[in-house]
Amino acid sequence: MMNIKEKNKKTQEELVQETATFYFLNSKFDEAIDEFKKVLKLNPANIEAYCSLGLIYENKKQPEEAKKMYEKTLLLDKNNKVAKEHLNKLIGIKDDEQD
């Protein structure tokens, strides 16, 4: 029974994420925000949802919100390339500024 429940939960998360991504790709950002938030209610560790919310907030010129989302993404996946690149860009760090 546990396994079936777990499986259903995952499927629902995936379905909502699919809808959120659909809105995102069609630049329907307000709708995408609502859906990605639903994804996070179902799974508060969904990396993709945090990162996508970061991208949306960045695009909506809400840098503080975007930073929070990228930071959450990197807490869950410290090597996330998209979040790293966009967070650096928001703060103003150049990628090749190694020294």
Identified binder of another protein from the candidate list 12, 15, 19, 21, rule CB under 8 A? 21
Smallest separation (angstroms) from another protein to the CB of 6: 23
74 binds another protein (CB under 8 A): no
Identified binder of another protein from the candidate list 16, 33, 39, 55, rule CB under 8 A? 55
Smallest separation (angstroms) from another protein to the CB of 52: 5
The residue among 99, 45, 95, 92 whose CA lies nearest residue 72 is 45
